[in-house]
Structure 1
Amino acid sequence: MRRAIIQNLRTFRRPTPRKALKSLRITNSQHASLQRSIGSQPSPQPMRWSRRISVPAALGVAAAGSYYAYQRSGAQSVGPDGVLNGVQSRGAATATAYASVEHSPIGVHNTEVPEAVRKALIVEQGQLFTASIPADQPISKETDNSGRKVLEMLTPEQANAKLRTNEESYLVGRGEGVVRYDVVQIPSNDPIEDDHVEKIVEVPDTTAAAGEGKTRSDWMFWGVFDGHAGWTTSAKLRQTLVSYVARELNATYKSALQDPALTFPAAEAVDAAIKKGFVKLDHEITHDSVQKVLKSQSKVVAAEILAPALSGSCALLSFYDSRSKELRVACTGDSRAVLGRRAGSGKWTATALSVDQTGGTPSEDARLRAEHPGEQYVTMNGRILGGLEPSRAFGDAVYKWSKETQDKLKSSYFGRTPSKYLKTPPYVTAEPVITTTKVDPASGDFVVMATDGLWEMLTNEEVVGLVGQWLEKQATTTKATTTGNSSWLQSWFSTQKTNPLPIEHHDEGSTAGQRAPIRQQQWGVPTGQDERFVVEDKNAATHLVRNALGGKDSDMLSALLTLPAPYSRRYRDDLTVQVIFFGDGEHNGKVELNKEASATANGTNGGNGVKAKL
């Protein structure tokens, strides 16, 4: 998540072209050629990339070569321990040769480069470079004061493996309106600051009147948590948020059963229960923790208890009641949920189920100014007190504690100096905004939930269109059966072209209250060019991430997945994506791992299986 707390990770300054790069000295006996570079055009605005270079051209540049070395006067070869980021030298380079820099047209490879090459990515203060040498030659690195890093590129096979390492898919055979959900995570921070949760709670008729012929119903929860300034708050939400919300819902539903005239609780009561669960948990994280620390008078206890309060996290939680067929989406922060629904034309429509909540959102800015009258800097540059981007979040206690509390904790334990604009906290709340949608499982609705790492690369309509494209591809490649979880695909589709995207009103996703994809703006990627997309994955969430990171441009995908933290944060955020498919599937009462779309089946996680959740 982009946060002003670490401003340098959000602001990407490109140096101007360096005339000194007229030649390179290569510590290798074979001729090498620097094929392409990006960032060589001066930019008048530090936050923007030159639109003269498209995304595939800009980042695809990074995957063409295998070797780079910069020669200073009197340069010396560096041994294996001199190669950063885990790239091991494969031999000592003794001879030297020169190679001129060739700024060849984007996409045009040097014909002199041998066919068998290894790939490398070179990061130099905001610029990416690439070069090529024969595959059997060593990688070495020259050190200088320019901050260059040399990384051996992931091969396409390695990139696929990394992309699929954390993918999970589950087949839901409970006959309650949900047939499948897919999940994937791709880290950028180390460790990843995102988290997620999926839970199905069987509700007996003593809690919710099940209706004729039924003895139970399901409450289904899916959540994505976009952490910032650390991972502890999002981990806390994974462990406890569903329990807090389910407890409040349980009390609300039981109360409604006391009235014989009611079948369901009032909509306002259900919304209030969800909000109460959110606010209670945040109070425990933010305020109860302070009392425990002051009582214990232990810095060890303070370090453990205050961690989720000092970091922060957005939360996007969906609650589906299988009996009412209502889907509620509770949004705290700027993660986003979008509904895909089949239109009469056979194409899909995209409907946002949440609004990005930041200091730059007009409705949130107006709310904050009404709550804090006369405070000029309550939002500044789209950020709370000029610092935090999301206007609603768990944790982030420095925007909720009083100045006195912060001074006390800092003097006795640790903390940060309060903002000079802090006057009437709290400025940030965990109370969510809730939307309610009636779902029609028979029509094959689906919902995509994702942290903002996805939405800064793709529009709402691109995301829904990509899932529609994926569904059509699965329907044409899956054998039709009369039973089983594959039948829900076959019953929906006839063979259609996958390009262009099967979406109605294909535009740039300029939905009120939602930001356009910032990466597309920065990199100058033209929207609406569906030929850049591809269908290669069995997991729908992985399919979305692949196309967000490059699609058909395998070089771009390899480049983005090769970059380690913290360099990767300049180009992409942590990514967590869930895709929930509604429909009528099997009635075997089970929730089973879908092996063909999970890491356990394709062996991309070293045979360790899907990671256990605490």
Structure 2
Amino acid sequence: MPIPPSSRIAAARLLSRNTSFIGAASRTVRPHAVNLARQPFTRHFSSSGTPPSGESMNLRKTYLALISGTVLGASWYYRDTLLAQSPAPTSTSASPEGGKQILAVDHADIYTGTLPPSVSVTKEASTEDQRVVEMLSPEEATKKLRRNEESYLINRGRGVFRYDVVQVPSNDPIEDDHSEKIIEIPGSVSGTTSSSDDWMFWGVFDGHSGWTTSAKLRQTLIAFVARELHHTYKAALTSETPSAPESSKIDEAIKRAFVKLDNEIVHESVDKLFKNPSKPVAAEMLAPALSGSCALLAFFDSRSKQLKVAVTGDSRAVLGRRGANGRWTATQLSEDQTGNNPNEVTRMRAEHPGEEHVIRNGRVLGGLEPTRAFGDATYKWSLDVQKRIKESFFGRTPSIHMKTPPYVTAEPVVTTAEIMPEKGDFVVMATDGLWEMLTNEEVVGLVGRWIEEQKEGNSNKGWFGGSWFKGKKSDLPVEKGQEDPSKLPPIRTRQWGIDHNQDGRFVCEDKNAATHVVRNALGGKDSNMLCALLTLPSPYSRRYRDDLTVEVIFFGDSATTDGTVKINGEATAGHGKPEPAAAGTTPEMKAKL
């Protein structure tokens, strides 16, 4: 039942007399929650997309009104505010006085602080917009961070010796997905005299409006691309002048595969449904079409040592390469395709001349941020199809700005990089959740620093052996000044008020390189921030961080070249030591055409 206006006014007066952080006076508290007392809280970051302004921007310390006692047995809370309470104060996050570590979130800000042991933090179960959860300790945060980490040692002597991957969800369930595969190609197909070569694929898929499209890509995209590549290689080798296909032909094959799969998801599903109409079937068949997903796919040919990167949407791949001075350079291999990319805006306006709202507020028709994506059928179906689907099954009214669909395409932009294993090349692939928190230079520098930490006691060093960087250990070993100076810092760090020039922000505590990057993206040395961000449940967490999927691929050859693909146990969740997969290879990684 809504609180009467008179009670809300009285509560606001109570709160305004006993708080000092901006905007708190407008929050609603229960009318019987009195005896307010100040307790110190640290303000961490804001949920708005811009840094706090005025007085609040300069204040790192503020106070949040808490109840040190209760009337009628009631505890305190804010309306539509999430609170988190730590377990028993046995971890490093607990206060030395034995108080309870607290996480408090309102619409604009996030705070941590300590409550006296006598104060209880609870919730009212019948109120849907109020929740209380346990504040994670640093140990629990680390466990959650590593829950989905995987690492594989590629002992095949064909240019890649390891890759690491991790996922940290924000949505429930996570809308990201990923897929990896090694396909062994006979020399007669790849155009070499060797008995066989490897085609290696890594895919990162950033879903939105649901998880079904990204799951579909995990299951099928690599197979679609491999088939098109097979046809292209076969055609080139059976021509009048047999040779491996030109680089441009490979690009075209990858683009065809992306478009064919999206056509199956968006259009062929509708054709099948109209031939056999059924509402239950429609819900299942159209789910991958109605949600959407960006896709980032890397293809490495062990024969040519070329890496192809295909991007549909705003996931990103960055190449790290070591220079003579031991520092790394960061080279972006893909371009984010959103309504804020001038190249994409120009393309969209050229394809839809005279349509003022084709890009509106940096989004397609004012709604969708990526300008290229799989699924998102409501931006691709004709108006007639959308009308038929709505009348026969379900759906929503198209945007009033929709005139000439399709507006969104799954066709990727493909780039090529020559891989140089002797320079320690690695590639980081990640959904946009990572790039909202770290710059390209920071990500490459973090992996470079991680590599330095792995030199000692690593039995499968590969290119981890040898010391290169001679600077301070606290520094990131990366060349500075590569980023566009006109480009704003990542949006989340502006939201959180992070200073990118701050020394000592980062730590190195993980054996998995991808986990290491994510830990530092979520707070690094600031364990309170890390715990706070990982404590937040869905949907609150989505205000502060996105789903995260990160892959790090290391190029070169390992000391062992027995042809196997092995789980790296020390960097894989649920494994205590390195162990081979069944029959020496993992069925998820290796396949034959």
How high is the TM-score relative to the length of structure 1? Answer: 0.82
Match of 2:417 among 433, 437, 445: 437
Q: Give the secondary-structure state (helix, strand or coil) at the position aligned to 2:201.
A: strand
Is the CA contact (8 Å cut-off) linking 2:45 and 2:495 kept in structure 1?
A: no
**Counterpart in 1 of 2:185?**
203
**Counterpart in 2 of 1:227?**
207
- Whole-Å Cα distance in 2 between the matches of residues 204 and 145 of structure 1? 63
**Counterpart in 2 of 1:576?**
549
Following TM superposition, by how much is the alpha carbon of 1:196 offset from its aligned partner in structure 2, in angstroms? 0.3
**Counterpart in 2 of 1:497?**
472
Aligned residue type for 2:430: A
Following TM superposition, by how much is the alpha carbon of 1:289 offset from its aligned partner in structure 2, in angstroms? 0.6
- Whole-Å Cα distance in 2 between the matches of residues 409 and 418 of structure 1? 12
**Counterpart in 2 of 1:11?**
none
**Counterpart in 2 of 1:338?**
318
- Whole-Å Cα distance in 1 between the matches of residues 55 and 133 of structure 2? 23
- Distance 1:255-1:20 versus aligned 2 partners, 3 A rule: closer
Is the CA contact (8 Å cut-off) linking 1:69 and 1:140 kept in structure 2?
A: no
Following TM superposition, by how much is the alpha carbon of 1:53 offset from its aligned partner in structure 2, in angstroms? 9.2
Please say if 1:415 is aligned against 2:395: yes
Is the CA contact (8 Å cut-off) linking 1:194 and 1:576 kept in structure 2?
A: yes
Following TM superposition, by how much is the alpha carbon of 1:209 offset from its aligned partner in structure 2, in angstroms? 2.2
**Counterpart in 2 of 1:389?**
369
Deviations 1:522-545 (A, max 9, x none): 233222334201111110000100
- Distance 1:55-1:450 versus aligned 2 partners, 3 A rule: farther
Deviates more, 1:193-202 or 1:132-141: 132-141
Is the CA contact (8 Å cut-off) linking 1:119 and 1:155 kept in structure 2?
A: no
Match of 2:573 among 571, 587, 599: 599
**Counterpart in 2 of 1:18?**
24
Match of 1:76 among 74, 77, 93: 74
Following TM superposition, by how much is the alpha carbon of 1:497 offset from its aligned partner in structure 2, in angstroms? 3.2
Match of 1:149 among 128, 131, 139: 131
- Whole-Å Cα distance in 2 between the matches of residues 225 and 517 of structure 1? 20
**Counterpart in 1 of 2:6?**
none
**Counterpart in 2 of 1:314?**
294
- Distance 1:155-1:18 versus aligned 2 partners, 3 A rule: same
Match of 1:587 among 554, 561, 575: 561
Following TM superposition, by how much is the alpha carbon of 1:123 offset from its aligned partner in structure 2, in angstroms? 2.6
Deviations 1:201-243 (A, max 9, x none): 00012211233xx211000000100000000000000000000
- Distance 1:142-1:302 versus aligned 2 partners, 3 A rule: closer
**Counterpart in 1 of 2:461?**
486
Q: Give the secondary-structure state (helix, strand or coil) at the position aligned to 2:562.
A: strand
Q: Gapped runs of 5+ residues in structure 1?
A: 1-14, 91-108, 604-610
Q: Give the secondary-structure state (helix, strand or coil) at the position aligned to 1:121.
A: strand
**Counterpart in 2 of 1:103?**
none
Q: Give the secondary-structure state (helix, strand or coil) at the position aligned to 2:188.
A: coil
**Counterpart in 2 of 1:453?**
433
Is the CA contact (8 Å cut-off) linking 1:178 and 1:581 kept in structure 2?
A: yes
Following TM superposition, by how much is the alpha carbon of 1:130 offset from its aligned partner in structure 2, in angstroms? 3.9
Q: CA RMSD in A?
A: 3.7
- Whole-Å Cα distance in 2 between the matches of residues 497 and 88 of structure 1? 36
Q: Give the secondary-structure state (helix, strand or coil) at the position aligned to 1:34.
A: strand
Is the CA contact (8 Å cut-off) linking 1:222 and 1:319 kept in structure 2?
A: yes
Is the CA contact (8 Å cut-off) linking 1:302 and 1:413 kept in structure 2?
A: yes
**Counterpart in 1 of 2:50?**
48
Match of 1:35 among 37, 40, 49: 40
Deviates more, 1:458-467 or 1:68-77: 68-77
- Distance 1:571-1:431 versus aligned 2 partners, 3 A rule: same
Is the CA contact (8 Å cut-off) linking 2:454 and 2:464 kept in structure 1?
A: yes
- Distance 1:193-1:333 versus aligned 2 partners, 3 A rule: same
**Counterpart in 1 of 2:251?**
271
Aligned residue type for 1:569: R
Aligned residue type for 1:17: G
Aligned residue type for 2:213: T
Aligned residue type for 2:168: I
- Whole-Å Cα distance in 1 between the matches of residues 208 and 427 of structure 2? 25
Is the CA contact (8 Å cut-off) linking 2:75 and 2:121 kept in structure 1?
A: no
Following TM superposition, by how much is the alpha carbon of 1:359 offset from its aligned partner in structure 2, in angstroms? 1.2
**Counterpart in 2 of 1:547?**
520
Identity of aligned residues (%): 55
Q: Give the secondary-structure state (helix, strand or coil) at the position aligned to 1:254.
A: helix
Aligned residues: 552
Following TM superposition, by how much is the alpha carbon of 1:77 offset from its aligned partner in structure 2, in angstroms? 5.3
Is the CA contact (8 Å cut-off) linking 1:317 and 1:330 kept in structure 2?
A: yes
The equivalences for 1:182-193 within 5 A come to: 182-193=164-175
Is the CA contact (8 Å cut-off) linking 1:315 and 1:393 kept in structure 2?
A: yes
- Whole-Å Cα distance in 2 between the matches of residues 297 and 463 of structure 1? 49
How high is the TM-score relative to the length of structure 2? Answer: 0.84
- Whole-Å Cα distance in 1 between the matches of residues 55 and 209 of structure 2? 32
- Distance 1:85-1:602 versus aligned 2 partners, 3 A rule: farther
- Whole-Å Cα distance in 1 between the matches of residues 167 and 59 of structure 2? 25
Q: Give the secondary-structure state (helix, strand or coil) at the position aligned to 2:41.
A: strand
- Whole-Å Cα distance in 1 between the matches of residues 307 and 346 of structure 2? 28
- Whole-Å Cα distance in 1 between the matches of residues 425 and 246 of structure 2? 24
Deviates more, 1:257-266 or 1:273-282: 257-266
Is the CA contact (8 Å cut-off) linking 1:472 and 1:496 kept in structure 2?
A: no
Following TM superposition, by how much is the alpha carbon of 1:487 offset from its aligned partner in structure 2, in angstroms? 4.3
Deviates more, 1:288-297 or 1:515-524: 515-524
**Counterpart in 1 of 2:497?**
524
Is the CA contact (8 Å cut-off) linking 1:314 and 1:332 kept in structure 2?
A: yes
